[in-house]
Amino acid sequence: MSKAIETIKTIRASTVKLVEGLSNEQLNKVPEGFINNIIWNLGHMVAAQQGICYKRSGIEARIDDSFFERYKPGTKPEGHINEAEVEEIKALLVSTIDQLETDFKESLFKEYPAFTTRYGVELASVEDAINFLPFHDGLHMGYIMALKRAI
């Protein structure tokens, strides 16, 4: 699992670098033809990881429920995210993967009911979920690249 977790860390660090220097207005802008913005995609990466790793395992997420509800799959931006919240999201991109690594090494994940993602990928264990995250995060990094070009 260490290789998959290192890959996730690399993708997230690259994503944070990708948005460096963007203004709060740019991070919050929903360009014409899009349904979300850059900051929503960053928050969604955190929430999705918490959902497929922790919540699916019957373990309480390591983020506030209100955060999860704002960025979980099927949501869209609900308003302007201030600079303090932006910094929190950037920090969570890193800290939640560090926590996942610790929790995995401590064998916290005992049960995992199988399900099929909206992308047709079957996840039957937390290991499958962790291996799925680079695909998911890479997809949203691509969305962020497209949004950045559109703003």
CATH value at residue 94: 1.20.120.450
Query: How many whole angstroms separate alpha carbon 57 and alpha carbon 68?
Result: 16
Of 52, 68, 54, 69, residue with least CA distance to 116:
52
Number of domains in the chain: 1
pLDDT confidence band for 112 (50 / 70 / 90): very high
pLDDT confidence band for 23 (50 / 70 / 90): very high
Helix (H) or strand (E) holding 8: helix 2-19
Q: Answer yes or no: is pLDDT of 39 > 80.
A: yes
Q: Answer yes or no: is pLDDT of 1 > 90.
A: no
Domain that holds residue 60: 2-150
Averaged pLDDT for residues 115-123: 95
Is this model's pTM higher than 0.85 or not?
yes
Q: Answer yes or no: is pLDDT of 95 > 80.
A: yes
Query: How many whole angstroms separate alpha carbon 126 and alpha carbon 112?
Result: 6
Averaged pLDDT for residues 121-146: 97
Q: Answer yes or no: is pLDDT of 32 > 80.
A: yes
Structure tokens that stand for 86 in this block: 């932006």
